[in-house]
Each structure stands twice: as structure tokens, then as C-alpha cells.
Amino acid sequence: MRLGSIILFVAFCSFTAYYVYEPIPDRIEERWKLMLTNSFFRTLSHLADLCESAGLKDYMDVMYVITLLEKIVPVSDEHVKVTEEKFDGVEVVLYQPKRQGGDAGLRRAVIYLHGGGWCLGSSRMSPYDLLARKIVTELDAVVLSVEYRLAPAHHFPVPYEDVHRVVKYFLQKGVLAQYSVDPGRVAVSGDSAGGNLAAAVSQQLQKESGQQIKLRAQALLYPVLQALDLKTPSYQQNKDMPILPRTLMVRFWSEYFTSNKALFRAMMANSHNSPESSRLLKFVNWSAFLPEAYHKEYNYSAPAVAQGTEGEAAGTDGPSQSFADPRASPLLVPDADLHSLPKAYILTCEYDVLRDDGIMYATRLRAAGVEVTHQHYDTGFHGALMFTVWPTDFLIARRMTDNYVKWLKDNL
């Protein structure tokens, strides 16, 4: 009996070690902590696949558990006043310093857009709450965290339109004055899908002739910026990396546009481009915009173009029109639309499928004359900056946060 218990215990430990272990590059810090963290994400993903296959629940509905586990009720503390409001019908969480401002009484402001692949995440998650408070206290700034509506309940362009409405509303003289914000010191920022929305709204505002108050800066943290080529070197190199494997990123993209699984299958094969969208592939040609060091052993091959009508191209009802839209894929804007954009901070991570999106955008912005600070983390992985809460707190997250806040302090 005792021997049997020992055998069962050893078998259980062996199975657990086998399940948790992943071939994570040695350069990544705190590898075992990342393996343990990612085992939870993988388990949830397997459960989501199972529930969807059985017709019990949609994949993203199950994955939303990640959001619920981190969700809090933001409350004021001795340094920060927190209120929940609606700006032009969109929910926002507003963080303001309690102490008085400087000589002029006007403060900086950061409009922050959370990540989560447009399907998950919330401004009310504890990592975003902590980040907002840090920005408020260290910059004496107002932080506006936007609770935009999520896919798949609200496909593109709804999340973008929510963000656009909030930014337009906030950038009114009367509204800025109400919160003691300097009209010349407002930035938009976001991580992952939030970085996508931040880049897109920055571009669109610059083109709107009636927009009197402009953004001073944009800070994009490992942003996702294009849906045309999902086999860049970073998508290939990092296809099985923790937190955001290629399969999950492709699923986020497809769910952003449609609930029709045909698009997911086409995007997985990188054969989702229509004749219309293929004309924009020149803007995401990584052989032209990616420094040689990031090409690695990969050779450029233009994505296949599906023939047929817009709807037939990807087996869906016309989403190819959407992923060719710069509001969804900011990397697709022509060079002429880049030169007037605000200064940019772009954070990228080596072990991230989205690495090349950020690097290509930094290359194109610089070529257009935009002031760019590109901070690349050789040991970084996707989502790292948000891992600041125990037990999934990582040292690299602290460094990323400190460098990001310092850039805001120096450039806003």
C-alpha cells in the first residue's frame, strides 16, 4: 500500500513537471516562474477549446476568466482620487492627483488603453490600476483609463470607435479645463491591442482638420499593428512562446473582425488577403522595414492572395475590408500620413510574436521624420509589463514600468 502511494505520488509529480515544463529560451529571466504562469494560461485555453468544441461556451467567454480574476473596484487612496464616469457614452476610470498642481495649476494627462486582444482585459484589472496610480503620483498627471467595448460581442470598428469618441471628448478645451489638464501635454498610450488602438487614434486625429487640440505623444507597448502578414520572423520564431502564442494572436485578430471561424483558418494559413488588401502588403514587407539582425534564418515570402469576391476571399462576409483598414492595422498608412504624427515611444520584446510589428513601425516613423524612442528588451516576452502583482510579479516588469514612466516624465 505504501509502495503504491509512493508510485502514485512520483507519477503525479512527473506528470506535473512534464505539463509545466516548456522549452523557454535560457535568456528569459525567471524561466520557471514564467512556465508556471503560462501553465495556467495553457490549461484555460485547453478548457476553452473543449467547451467550444462541445458547444457549451465560446472560447473567448471561457478565456475571460483571466479578466475576472484580476478585476477590482478602483477606489481613491490618500494620494489619488478615483472616479468612474462616462465620456460621450463610454465608461472611463479617471485617476487624479489629490495634491495641488504646480505654479500654473495645469497637469499632464495620459489616456490609457488596456490590452487583451480586443476580446479580453479591462481598465479595472489590478495591474492597470497600479500602473495608473504610479503615473499619477510620479508625474502629477491625470490618467484616463478607457473601458471600451470588447469583441466578439462588438466587432471592429466598435472598440476603435469607443476610444476615438473618448479621446475626442477629452480633447475639448472645456473638458481639459475641468480636470486642470494642459492642452499641450496630453498623450495616448496602450499595451498590445491597446497599443493598436492608441496608434490608430493618433493617426486619425492628425488627419481631422477640425481637431484643434492635438496629442503631444503616443506610447505604444508591444503593440499589434497589422493583420496582413502573420508570418513575419517574430511570428515564426515565437509561435510557441508563453502568454501569446501565434495561434492565440491569430484567434484574437479573427474574433476582432468576425465570429465566422473560416477567417481564423485562413489567417492561420496566412492566406486571408484579398486582392484589395494585397495591394497594401508593401507597407508590411518586413524584408524592407526590419533591420537585418531580426531577419534571422527566415526568408521573405509575400502572403498568398485568395481569389474571389471580398466575402469569398476569406470565407467570410467581407472582413478583408476591415483588416485593410488603417484603423485596424495602423502600419498600413501611407508614408505621407506619418510625418505629422506626435513623438512616439515604442516598446518591443524579443520573445513576442508582435516584435516585428513594433520595429517596422519605428522604422517607418523615423523615416517620416517623427521623433521615436524605441526600447527593445532582449529578454522580454509579451505582456511582461503587466506582471507586477504577486504571485506573477516579474523583475523585468518593474524595469519596463520604470523606463516607460521615465519616458513619459521626460517627454510629456
- Set 182, 191, 325, 352: catalytic member: 352
Question: Residue 369, by phi and psi: left (phi above 0), alpha (psi -120 to 50) or beta?
Answer: left
- The answer to whether 240 is a known catalytic residue is no
**To 10 degrees, the CA torsion angle through 366, 368, 370, 372?**
-20
Three cell numbers written together for 169: 471628448
Residues 6 or more apart in contact with residue 46 via CB below 8 angstroms = none
User: Which residues on neighbouring strands pair with residue 343, listed in sequence order?
Assistant: 217
Three cell numbers written together for 408: 513619459
State which amino acid sits at residue 311.
Answer: G
Q: First CA to last CA across the chain, in angstroms?
A: 69
Q: Which of 86, 90, 84, 87 is nearest to 132 (CA)?
A: 84
Do 136 and 160 touch, CB atoms closer than 8 A?
no
- The answer to whether 114 is a known catalytic residue is no
Residues 6 or more apart in contact with residue 407 via CB below 8 angstroms = 219, 345, 373, 375
User: Which residues on neighbouring strands pair with residue 190, listed in sequence order?
Assistant: 113, 220
- The answer to whether 192 is a known catalytic residue is yes
Query: What beta strand segments (E) does 164-261 contain?
Result: 181-191, 217-221
CA 299 to CA 302: how far, in whole Å?
10
Three cell numbers written together for 317: 462576409
Three cell numbers written together for 38: 503560462
CA 360 to CA 58: how far, in whole Å?
34
Phi then psi for residue 378, to 5 deg, are -65, -25
Query: What beta strand segments (E) does 192-282 contain?
Result: 217-221
* Residue 303, preceding peptide bond in cis (omega within 30° of 0): no
In the block, cell 500602473 appears at 131
- Set 192, 234, 320, 322: catalytic member: 192
Helices 193-207 & 158-170, crossing angle to 10 degrees?
A: 60
Residues assigned a catalytic role? 192, 352, 382
